[in-house]
Amino acid sequence: MRYKNETLFKMYIDWCEVARVKMEYNKISFGMRVIVLMKKQLNTNGFACIEKDTNLMTTLYLDEFKKYFVNPNGHKFEEEKEEEDDEIEQIILYTTLYKDLWTLDLS
Q: What's the pLDDT band for 4 if we cut at 50, 70, 90?
A: very high
Angle between helices 5-18 and 82-103 (to 10 degrees): 90
Q: Read off the amino acid at residue 54.
A: T
Measure the CA–CA gap between 104 and 1, rounded to whole angstroms. 23
pLDDT recorded at residue 95: 72
User: Residue 86: which residues within 8 A CB-CB, separation 6 or more?
Assistant: none
Q: Of 19, 8, 22, which is closest to residue 102 (Cα–Cα)?
A: 22
Q: Which residues sit opposite 57 in a β-bridge? A: 4
Question: For the chain, which residues make up each domain, given as ranges?
Answer: 2-103
pLDDT of the residue at 9: 92
- pTM of the model as a whole: 0.61
pLDDT at 23: 81
Burial of 54 from C-beta contacts in 10 A (0-12 / 13-18 / 19+): exposed
Q: Can you tell me whether residue 26 is helix, strand or coil?
A: coil
Beta bridge partner(s), residue 2: 59
Q: What is the pLDDT of residues 20-77, one digit of tens each?
A: 888 888 999 988 888 888 888 888 888 888 898 888 999 988 888 888 777 554 555 5
